[in-house]
A and B are shown apart, each in its own frame.
Chain A
């Protein structure tokens, strides 16, 4: 009876059954608590993951109706993955969004109008007006602000001093000279770790574009990027590379790592850099004297220092069938209490009216300097467009093509205009 064949067949059967059953084991065990899914990227990053976990667990302790499950991806993947899940009918309940993605998600029709779960007046009382406004699209409150600031510049005053630079540079010329001095002081230090690697961080260049007086769109929404100002900005960038003041292939992760190891003079980052640099350098609060926020140098005296508005929002998806519980969680995460703790951990400013007058904020020199940077912040010009991601990609690719010597600044500006126009119209 035990023919070889029968044994083999039964082995195969057993194996199949095991594998099939194993695959079903991923089905969640029945729970009596509701579970909401929170999607984003901060839970994936070393410096912010503990804060995210703390937010989830402290809320779970406060109430026993529901639990939160985190679904994370790296920031560069998050938007795309979220859209894929929405299209697949498998949207999370709430998500952390980069403020610049709001338009794309609104266009998808995926976001719930929070005025349907929250009292409008409650929201207006709770949050700083301008921040709440950032979450309004087409008359609907599609997002709650979570933190808003600007991407600014950070300098290492210790390196500057050693290189013989007595003041933070305020004009482009001074900035160039400062870079030169740093290079002379120590050729191993990268004077300005500008974002030049593939990916969306090349959008930082927009702030320089504005510094030189260029714009992508005019007030009527026409594409005007092919201008002398743009060409000047690109030429300047190229010169910086040729002189060795910036490098190609620099990502924000690289820049942070290098800055934390005192190998960088200046770089661009968001306000949360403080927490990140403290932990990356291994020095904690002792590293504070190696970093200081800096206004972006201007072209001529009297120009306004430019910066790109930056922030995280919280959204709820229409597909969610647990809207009330989700709203409760969102309310909690953006509250003054949680916001101030988040600020203490990572330096991210809270968004409630109440928190703005908190001592922790007003007495913090870093946050105070940063509010100067944010004062003249402008949104990424691609924000209002659903094709935001692709437009950024086009912009970044053309900037890169100048840096790697593939195109002249003139040709790149021309290509930018042509491709942006075609992407918006097509």
Chain B
């Protein structure tokens, strides 16, 4: 876009790039090497920039930690079920927003969209009371139900944009062939948007994987905790001051999400506009 004629502009460009690379990636590098250092080396001052005593002990501790495995399992189950539920329910709404016209449609769309901007902490007050009254504190349903508050708007919006991409003619020809409206949805639209459906489900999964405040408050036992509050309570409590261990557990937690994102590269922009992740 800009002509890189003068030396100055080249310098500005490349130094900006270098600075940004440092800012973005050095912390991750730091996390990684800390996790491979022995506990003694970690608290050396000045710190070493590569592990002098390379060790895998923290990873072994993390992987054999019963609690960590429990948190992992819980995160998988809760995020997975939430994502599934959201996609199924919102696909109908998304299809409706995309293909049908009725008064109030735009307002409803706006409402659904803005629902994810409401402060979670405020919602939590009543959600907590509700779950308590239903006796659901510290159970999967409590988490799944409350997670849908931020996955449903996301999946609705994303799926709508995928449904938008289906050409009118495809659906019209099906209609002419005598398909009922539901059949059009189930047998034509859904299969056509399958990649988009999967991408949406995975974004919702990531949201559920990363949630902290709901999982922290709605669970009270280690057996039910997901990774974010579980790790936090472990490493700001029992394992406080075990920085290398904390970094190892952090890396382990990040890997599923990173892998998913590599797979989802293509769908990135759509997901981002929908505000996925935060």
Contact = CB atoms under 8 A, between A and B. Distances in A.
Contacts of A90: 137-138, 220
Contacts of A73: 222, 233, 237
A8 B194 contact: yes
B237 to A, nearest CB: 2
Interface in B174-230: 186-187, 190-191, 194, 220-224
Interface stretch (B12-20, B77-85, B146-154, B264-272): B77-85
Given A88-B132, A257-B241, A19 B84 contact: yes
Interface string B61-82: 0000000000001000100110
A81 B186 CA distance: 46
B59 interface: no
Interface string A70-82: 0111111100010
Contacts, number: 77
A350 B137 CA distance: 37
B162 interface: no
B238 interface: yes
B11 interface: no
Nearest to B132: A88
Given A26-B223, A89-B135, A74 B233 contact: yes
Contacts of B140: 23
A129 interface: no
Nearest to A199: B236
A23 B220 contact: no
A87 interface: yes
A85 B241 contact: no
A20 B239 CA distance: 32
B172 interface: no
Contacts of A88: 132, 135, 137-138, 220
Contact of B191 (A4, A71, A87): A4
B187 A5 contact: yes
Interface residues of A, number: 35
Contacts of B84: 12, 15-16, 19
A19 B240 contact: no
B130 to A, nearest CB: 12
A22 interface: yes
A84 B237 contact: no
A75 B137 contact: no
A74 B238 contact: yes
Contact of A71 (B43, B77, B137, B221): B221
Interface string A343-385: 0000000000000000000000000000000000000000000
A132 B43 CA distance: 44
Contacts of B77: 19, 22-23
A48 to B, nearest CB: 10
Given A26-B223, A74-B233, A77-B233, A8 B191 contact: yes
Contacts of B240: 74, 251, 253
Contacts of A26: 223-224
Contacts of B224: 26
A186 interface: no
A45 interface: yes
Nearest to B87: A12
A46 B137 contact: no
B137 to A, nearest CB: 4
A4 B186 CA distance: 11
A259 to B, nearest CB: 12
Nearest to B88: A12
Given A5-B190, A84-B137, 7 more contacts: A3-B187, A22-B73, A74-B237, A77-B233, A84-B220, A88-B138, A257-B43
Interface of A: 3-5, 8, 12, 15-16, 19-20, 22-23, 26, 41, 44-46, 71-77, 81, 84-85, 87-90, 251, 253-254, 257, 261
20 contacts: A5-B190, A15-B80, A16-B81, A19-B77, A19-B81, A19-B84, A22-B73, A22-B77, A23-B77, A23-B140, A26-B224, A74-B236, A75-B237, A84-B220, A85-B137, A85-B138, A85-B220, A85-B221, A253-B240, A261-B43
